[in-house]
Amino acid sequence: MRFPLLILSYAVAFVLLTGCNQEQKIPAVQEIAASSQPAIATVAPQYGTFSALISTTASIQPSPDGIVSISAPVTGTVDKLHVSIGDKISQNAPLVTIRSSEVSDVQNDRLSAKANLAQAKHLHDMNKELFKLGAVTANDLAASQSNLQQAEALLNGFSQKLNYFGASSGQTLTLRAPINGVVYEIGTHLGEKVANDAAQPLIKIANPHKKMVVAAVYEKDISAFFVGKEVDITIENREVGPIKGTVTYVSDVLDPENKTTQVYIKPSVDSPDLRINMFANISTGAEQKEVFRIPKKSLLFKEGKFIVFIKKGDQFSPLNVTLISDDPQDNFSLVKGLPQNSQIALEAITLEKQ
């Protein structure tokens, strides 16, 4: 009986020793796994004054002095539109036809003035003959001459008014282009009631040789743009170099929603590559003082904020920074909000995934 009990005791002891050895090996395995993780590379941000390229999008618009507005000279109804937005038109080309009772009224006034002129001319011719015979006085002849001149002036006035209207029939008039240009804007449609109101033009024509580049510049970059500043204008997907331009006006109104200000730039040349309503990019150099220069891959944009991971001991902590410049042609960005002599993660996305 003692021999089997002795064997059973050895078996239990062996199992207990084996279990203890396995528990002691678990921490060793965990330690190896932790030490096998790659180290996070860091970089020291450069602090000082750097030259930055400020760029933004812009649109090509007609210059204010190159726009001609066409308004309705009478009250009436739009009977026909002869043009569409973007059409190239020549001077005197038809734009819009308006049907108006005012036109027929002027037509009738002209016919009446024409009849009065014929009667005044007949009376004057008769008085000239009677004056030769002594049948009328010099005053009678002078009065007939004055009536004739008034009738001629009245008829001429109605004729000029119809020419100004561009009357093409008894009740319609056709407005025509005063210059060569491009139809920039149409503010009416068929069947619309229109009135003689200069504040509500029916059509706007732009001179294609007078253009302005209008850029929406963010508040943080607006200091780089001032009147007289030279900028580069480039067009995407076109094999042309930058076109030089000069800032002529900087608006003093900030868009509260987009945080942008309108900047107006005049191109140095009348380039055919700059077409009205086309989009372009503008850029200019500007010195940024007391900023940090960091690799772009150290910067992470998350939930509307720019973040870097700053090293504190053996740990990395996210830190919000302010982006100052982000030149798409450069691998570095300029930021503010970092402590001097700090270390940040070289690749922010690596820590973001962890």
Dist CA 351 CA 332 (whole Å): 19
Question: Which H or E run includes 20?
Answer: helix 2-35
Place of tokens 């004055």: 146
- Contacts of residue 169, defined as CB under 8 A and 6 or more positions apart, other chains included, come to none
CATH 2.40.50.100 spans which residues of the chain? 67-205
Q: Return the amino acid letter for 272.
A: P
Dist CA 298 CA 348 (whole Å): 5
How much is the pLDDT for 25? 38
Q: For 41-195, where are the alpha helices, taking DSSP H only?
A: 101-133, 138-165
User: In this structure, are residues 345 and 307 in contact, taking their beta carbons and an 8 Å threshold?
Assistant: no
299-324, pLDDT tens digit by residue?
A: 999 888 899 999 988 889 999 999 88
Dist CA 244 CA 255 (whole Å): 26
How much is the pLDDT for 19? 45
Q: Which CATH number fits domain 54-63+208-286: 2.40.30.170, 3.40.980.10, 3.40.50.1100, 3.30.200.20?
A: 2.40.30.170
Dist CA 191 CA 173 (whole Å): 15
Among candidate residues 249, 324, 332, the one with its CA nearest the CA of residue 289 = 324
CATH 2.40.30.170 spans which residues of the chain? 54-63+208-286
How much is the pLDDT for 24? 39
Dist CA 354 CA 351 (whole Å): 5
Dist CA 133 CA 152 (whole Å): 27
CATH 2.40.420.20 spans which residues of the chain? 42-52+289-353
β-pairing verdict for 193-194 and 172-176 = unpaired
Give the count of beta carbons closer than 10 Å to the beta carbon of residue 84: 8
User: In this structure, are residues 173 and 63 in contact, taking their beta carbons and an 8 Å threshold?
Assistant: no
How much is the pLDDT for 16? 40
183-219, pLDDT tens digit by residue?
A: 989 999 999 999 888 888 999 999 988 999 999 998 8
CATH topology of domain 42-52+289-353: 2.40.420
- Contacts of residue 5, defined as CB under 8 A and 6 or more positions apart, other chains included, come to none
Expressed in angstroms, the distance from the first to the final Cα of the chain is: 62
Judging by beta carbons within 10 Å of its beta carbon (0-12, 13-18, 19+), is residue 181 exposed, middle or buried? buried
Which residues, given as ranges, of the chain have pLDDT below 70?
1-38, 103-105, 107, 158, 162-170, 239-240, 354
Architecture of domain 67-205: Beta Barrel (2.40)
Give pTM, 2 decimals.
0.56
Tokens (6 digits) for 133 = 């015979």
